[in-house]
Structure 1
Amino acid sequence: MQRRTRVAVLAALTAALTAGCAEGKESPSGAGPPSASPGPTGSPVTPGPPWHDEVVAAPAGTTVGGKGTPCELPVTFSVPAGWKVEAVRGSAKFGEPRLDKALMLCEIDARPTADIGFLRVWRVDGVAGGAQEHLKHFLDAYSPEAADAEYRRVKAGTVDAVEASYPKEDGGPVHDRAIAISSLYGPIVLSLDTPEPAELLPAYQLVKQSARINRD
Structure 2
Amino acid sequence: MRSAVIRGVLAAAVMAGLVAGCSGGGDGKTSGASGSKAPGAGKSDGSGKSDDSKNGDADTGGAKGNPPAKSGGSVGAAGSACKLPVTFGIAAKWEPTTVDIDPDSNDLADLLRQGPVVIRCEVNGKKADSIAFIRAHLEESPAGGSPRKVLEGYVAADEDPKGATYTTFAAGGETATEVVYTTTSKLLEEERKARAFAVGTPDGVVLVSLGGFDSEEPEVLSAYELAKQTLKVN
Q: Same fold (TM over 0.5)?
A: yes
> Within 2, Cα distance between the matches of 1:209 and 1:22?
21
Structure showing greater relative contact order (alpha-carbon pairs closer than 8 Å, 6 or more residues apart): 2
- Number of aligned residue pairs: give it: 193
Q: Is the 8 A contact 2:171 2:233 kept in 1?
A: no
Gaps of 5+ in 2: 27-36, 43-60, 185-189
Distance 1:100-1:203 versus aligned 2 partners, 3 A rule: same
1:198 is paired with a residue whose SS is coil
Q: Deviations over 1:161-194 (max 9, x none)?
A: 110001143235xx32000122222210001012
Q: State the match for 2:224 in structure 1.
A: 204
Q: Kindly tell me: are residues 54 and 181 of structure 1, through their superposed partners in 2, closer, same or farther at Cα, counting changes over 3 Å?
A: same
**1:177 counterpart SS class:** strand
Q: For 1:125 and 1:176, locate their aligned partners in 2 and report how far apart those are by CA, in whole Å.
A: 21
For the 8 Å contact 2:81–2:98, the answer to whether it is kept is yes
Shift, 1:86, TM fit: 0.6
Instruction: Letter of the 1:195 partner, please give it.
Output: F
Q: From the superposition, tell whether residues 210 and 146 of structure 1 become closer, same or farther in structure 2 (CA, over 3 Å).
A: same
Structure 2 Cα separation of the partners of residues 127 and 19 of structure 1:
26
Q: What residue is the counterpart of 2:147 in the other structure?
A: 131
Post-superposition offset of 1:205:
0.7
**RMSD over aligned Cα atoms:** 2.6
Residue pair 2:162, 2:183 contacting (<8 A) in 1 also: no
What displacement does 1:98 show?
3.0
SS at match of 1:121: strand
Instruction: Please tell me whether the aligned partners of residues 41 and 158 of structure 1 are also in contact (alpha carbons under 8 angstroms).
Output: no
Q: Look up the match of 1:43.
A: 41
Q: Percent identity?
A: 26
Matches within 5 A, 1:1-216: 1-14=2-15, 15-23=17-25, 40-43=38-41, 51-90=62-101, 92=106, 94-95=108-109, 97-126=112-141, 128=143, 129-141=145-157, 143-169=158-184, 170-172=190-192, 175-199=193-217, 200-214=220-234
Runs of 4+ in 1 over 6 A off after TM superposition: none
Equivalent residues of 1:149, 1:166 under 8 A apart: yes
Task: Note closer, same or farther for the CA distance 1:68–1:52 as it changes in structure 2 (3 Å cut).
Answer: closer
